[in-house]
């Protein structure tokens, strides 16, 4: 300074100016470097090809430009409001790259909530309620002390947070916050672009799938309509199920068999048939059941059968259509074709049922007129019977079947197919009635075999009642059989063949309403049943023996192999359970009926 003639004060001022100039020059150079990095980042964004690679590079730039020990980017999930670490630079632990920060925890949540930069010089002294064990473990594993986070924003949403951290205590300057915010803006563009591209790709894929689906649907519809028209024409031309099987076999190039609901083949084409078509196994039956539930054609593996379709109309099932092996695998179009053919088959069955149903209605009306026996209509009844080939003079015996209401038509049809045409079958007053001649052995049906045949046809338990003899008039025989059938229903007994004699006189004197009969049994012997159930006793057995032995304690004791005193003690207990007046005539009469009816029910249920 002496050389330029400056004083000490002047020298100090000059030195201070030089230092300021050097600092400014250093700042400008750093700013130039930062701007250059930002421009480079902007160019990469403009040439965006691989968004993940650009995002990795941007986090690395934040790491380098901020002079931080670590930089990372957390992506915000708007559904769960969690923040998931997506990219890191400078990380030394395995916990940070997989870190998920729950809502309201950590410095990162404060950035999201405030939508503004947030920093902390010493994270250990950060607000306690913001701490989370998982976040604290990740911070500790990295050895982080100070952190700065800035939000990545769009006009409406927070996309994530860009972070830098140091392993020593540090305060962040406004210039550093501004620089990291600029980098965060670039990261926002990358994430937003990625989401837009992903959305566009998903839309394109969805549009392509929809177009393919629509094209396939149109092809399927055209082919299915063509085959359907051929099937309808085949049905209209007559011939029943045969033309349906032949049309389908020709269209699909494989054997086709149509079975009824008892696995009997009613039509076939494209011979020879596979073994599984002749004797369907469990897998085929399962597939048929699935087709009934879904209404669709179901694929099958093995037994030479490749697909089945149930012949169904609403809740009714008539059988199934089985398709064998062919030169090509059945596709969606083929399955649709089979389903259409199965629908046509069901319509055929309904058509045949309508024809037989008309005949069945005539026979049911004849049964009704026969059993109502109105003298003024007798000549008309006989005329209609002769038209059906039935001689009313020979009809002297009937059977009555208790069948669920929705199955009565099917049961009557099954009986008509099984019996001689001269036997009269019809529905009357909620029951199926079979009227026949006992004098003609060829017409007389075997009751138990008839009942099991009907059960197999409708797949439901059926009760059959046999009247006392052929000497009673048919209307009287029907009334006694009907009372017995109603008593069976009231006792909740089904699936057996019974004689009217077994239920006399109960069916004649008791109300056969199930609720009334149940109340009668509860009111008479219900208390005894309750006593036995609670104490493991058998007072009901004693009561039954007492009734059967004419209310004699001595005879009851002999019948049960007990001492008379034991029986007297049990009778005393019955006094306590039933009341002291239970042995009086009126109550004893009712108890006798209830006990015998209860025994009859148990005996029938053990059959």
Give the burial class of 64: count Cβ atoms within 10 A of its Cβ; 0-12 exposed, 13-18 middle, 19 or more buried.
middle
DSSP of 435-450: EE-TT-TTTPPPHHHH
Query: Which phi and psi (to 5°) does residue 87 adopt?
Result: -135, 145
Condensed to tens digits (0 to 9), the pLDDT of residues 102-123 reads 988 888 888 888 888 988 999 8
- Exposure string for 280-289, b = 16+ CB within 10 A, e = fewer: beeebeebbe
Q: Give mean pLDDT, residues 354-373.
A: 75
Condensed to tens digits (0 to 9), the pLDDT of residues 335-356 reads 888 888 888 887 777 776 666 6
Question: How far is residue 265's CA from residue 261's CA, in Å, rounded to a whole number?
Answer: 10
Question: How far is residue 329's CA from residue 319's CA, in Å, rounded to a whole number?
Answer: 24
**Residue 91 contacts residue 181 (beta carbons within 8 Å):** no
Q: Give mean pLDDT, residues 378-386.
A: 77
* Displacement of CA 219 from its chain's centroid (Å): 31
Condensed to tens digits (0 to 9), the pLDDT of residues 226-245 reads 667 777 776 676 667 888 88
Question: Per mean pLDDT, which range of 356-365, 391-400, 485-494, 596-605 is the poorest?
Answer: 356-365
pLDDT at position 160 over 80: yes
Sheet holding 316-326, edge to edge: 265-269, 254-260, 316-326, 305-313, 298-299
**pLDDT band at residue 183, thresholds of 50, 70 and 90?**
confident
pLDDT, greater one: 29 or 256: 256
DSSP state of 124: G
**pLDDT band at residue 400, thresholds of 50, 70 and 90?**
very high
pLDDT at position 357 over 80: no
* Displacement of CA 533 from its chain's centroid (Å): 39
Neighbours of 206 (CB within 10 A): 10
Please report the pLDDT score of residue 461 as a whole number.
92
Provide the terminal-to-terminal Cα distance of the chain, rounded to the nearest Å: 131
Q: Give mean pLDDT, residues 309-323.
A: 85
pLDDT, greater one: 15 or 545: 545
Q: Give mean pLDDT, residues 83-88.
A: 88
Please report the pLDDT score of residue 35 as a whole number.
55
DSSP of 566-606: HHHHHHHHHHHHH-TTTTSHHHHHHHHHHHHHHHHHHHHHT
Question: How far is residue 321's CA from residue 390's CA, in Å, rounded to a whole number?
Answer: 38
Helix, strand, or coil (residue 429): coil
DSSP of 268-283: EESSSPPHHHHS--HH
Q: Give mean pLDDT, residues 420-424.
A: 81
**Residue 284 contacts residue 322 (beta carbons within 8 Å):** yes
pLDDT > 90 fraction of the chain, expressed in percent and rounded: 3
Question: Per mean pLDDT, which range of 272-281, 299-308, 464-473, 512-521 is the poorest?
Answer: 512-521
pLDDT at position 1 over 60: no
Give the burial class of 594: count Cβ atoms within 10 A of its Cβ; 0-12 exposed, 13-18 middle, 19 or more buried.
buried
**pLDDT band at residue 79, thresholds of 50, 70 and 90?**
confident
Please report the pLDDT score of residue 401 as a whole number.
92
Give the burial class of 565: count Cβ atoms within 10 A of its Cβ; 0-12 exposed, 13-18 middle, 19 or more buried.
exposed
The residues facing 307 across adjacent strands are 299, 323
DSSP state of 182: H
Please report the pLDDT score of residue 220 as a whole number.
56
DSSP of 215-266: HHHHHHHHHHHHHHHHHHHHHHTS-THHHHHHHHHHHHTEEEEEEETTS-EE
Condensed to tens digits (0 to 9), the pLDDT of residues 554-579 reads 888 888 888 888 888 888 888 888 88
Question: How far is residue 122's CA from residue 607's CA, in Å, rounded to a whole number?
Answer: 88
Helix, strand, or coil (residue 92): coil
Helix, strand, or coil (residue 122): coil
Question: How far is residue 459's CA from residue 258's CA, in Å, rounded to a whole number?
Answer: 20
**pLDDT band at residue 377, thresholds of 50, 70 and 90?**
low
pLDDT > 70 fraction of the chain, expressed in percent and rounded: 82
Question: Rounded mean pLDDT of the chain?
Answer: 80
Neighbours of 439 (CB within 10 A): 11
Question: How far is residue 556's CA from residue 538's CA, in Å, rounded to a whole number?
Answer: 14
Helix, strand, or coil (residue 462): coil
pLDDT at position 403 over 60: yes
Question: How far is residue 399's CA from residue 384's CA, in Å, rounded to a whole number?
Answer: 22
**Residue 27 contacts residue 17 (beta carbons within 8 Å):** no
Start-end of H helices in 94-173: 106-114, 133-142
Condensed to tens digits (0 to 9), the pLDDT of residues 473-532 reads 888 888 888 888 888 887 788 888 888 877 766 665 665 556 666 777 787 888 888 998
Please report the pLDDT score of residue 333 as a whole number.
76
Please report the pLDDT score of residue 206 as a whole number.
81
Q: Give mean pLDDT, residues 60-68.
A: 81
Share in percent of the chain as helix, strand, coil (round to 5): 60, 15, 25
Neighbours of 467 (CB within 10 A): 22
Condensed to tens digits (0 to 9), the pLDDT of residues 443-457 reads 567 888 899 988 888
> Residue 474: which of 420, 398, 541 has the closest Cα?
398
Question: How far is residue 51's CA from residue 496's CA, in Å, rounded to a whole number?
Answer: 78
**Residue 310 contacts residue 264 (beta carbons within 8 Å):** no
Widest CA span in the chain:
158
pLDDT, greater one: 198 or 98: 98
> Residue 109: which of 142, 79, 51, 149 has the closest Cα?
149
> Residue 598: which of 492, 511, 456 has the closest Cα?
492
Strands 254-260 and 497-499, sheet pairing: unpaired
């Amino acid at each position: 300074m002496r050389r330029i003639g400056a004083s000490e004060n002047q020298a100090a001022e000059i030195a201070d100016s030089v230092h300021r100039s050097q600092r400014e020059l250093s700042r400008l150079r750093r700013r130039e470097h930062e701007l250059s990095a930002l421009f480079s980042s902007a160019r990469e964004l403009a040439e965006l090809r691989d968004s993940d690679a650009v995002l990795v590079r941007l986090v690395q730039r934040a790491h380098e430009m901020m002079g931080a020990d670590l930089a990372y980017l957390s992506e915000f999930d708007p559904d769960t409001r969690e923040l998931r670490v997506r990219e890191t630079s400078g990380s030394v632990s395995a916990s940070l790259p997989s870190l998920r920060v729950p809502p309201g925890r950590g410095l990162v949540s404060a950035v999201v909530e405030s939508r503004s930069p947030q920093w902390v010089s010493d994270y250990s002294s950060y607000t306690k309620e913001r701490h989370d064990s998982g976040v604290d473990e990740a911070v500790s594993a990295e050895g982080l002390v100070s952190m700065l986070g800035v939000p990545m924003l769009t006009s409406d949403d927070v996309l994530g947070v860009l972070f830098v951290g140091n392993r020593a205590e540090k305060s962040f300057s406004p210039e550093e916050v501004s620089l990291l915010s600029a980098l965060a803006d670039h990261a926002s563009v990358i994430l937003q672009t990625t989401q837009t591209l992903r959305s566009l790709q998903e839309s394109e894929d969805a549009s392509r799938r929809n177009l393919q689906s629509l094209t396939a649907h149109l092809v399927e519809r055209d082919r299915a309509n063509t085959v359907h028209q051929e099937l309808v024409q085949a049905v209209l031309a007559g011939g029943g199920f045969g033309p349906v099987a032949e049309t389908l076999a020709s269209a699909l190039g494989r054997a086709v068999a149509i079975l009824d609901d008892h696995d009997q083949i009613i039509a076939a084409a494209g011979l020879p048939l596979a073994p599984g078509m002749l004797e369907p196994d469990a897998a085929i039956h399962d597939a048929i059941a699935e087709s009934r539930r879904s209404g669709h054609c179901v694929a099958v593996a093995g037994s030479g059968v490749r697909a089945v379709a149930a012949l169904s109309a609403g809740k009714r099932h008539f059988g199934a259509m089985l398709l064998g092996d062919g030169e090509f695998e059945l596709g969606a179009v083929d399955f649709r074709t089979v389903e259409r053919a199965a629908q046509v088959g069901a319509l055929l069955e309904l058509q045949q049922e309508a024809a037989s149903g008309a005949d069945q209605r005539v026979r049911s009306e004849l049964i009704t007129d026969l059993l109502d026996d109105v003298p003024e209509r007798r000549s008309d009844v006989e005329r209609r019977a002769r038209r059906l080939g039935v001689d009313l003079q020979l009809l002297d015996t009937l059977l009555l079947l208790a069948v669920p209401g929705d199955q009565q038509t099917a049961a009557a049809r099954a009986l008509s197919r099984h019996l001689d045409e001269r036997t009269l079958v019809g529905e009357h007053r909620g029951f199926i009635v079979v009227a026949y001649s006992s004098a003609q052995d060829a017409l007389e049906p075997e009751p138990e075999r008839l009942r099991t045949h009907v059960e197999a046809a409708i797949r439901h338990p059926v009760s059959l009642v046999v009247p006392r003899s052929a000497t009673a008039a048919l209307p009287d025989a029907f009334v006694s059989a009907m009372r017995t059938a109603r008593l069976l229903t009231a006792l909740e007994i089904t699936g057996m063949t019974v004689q009217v004699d077994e239920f006399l006189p109960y069916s004649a004197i008791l109300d056969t309403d199930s609720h009334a009969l149940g109340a009668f049994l509860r009111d008479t012997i219900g208390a005894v049943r309750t006593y036995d159930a609670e104490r493991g006793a058998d007072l009901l057995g004693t009561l039954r023996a007492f009734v059967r032995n004419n209310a004699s304690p001595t005879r009851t004791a002999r019948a049960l192999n007990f001492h008379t005193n034991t029986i007297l003690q049990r009778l005393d207990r019955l006094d306590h359970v039933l009341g002291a007046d239970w042995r009086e005539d009126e109550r004893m009469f009712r108890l006798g009926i209830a006990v015998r009816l209860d025994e009859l029910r148990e005996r029938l249920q053990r059959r």
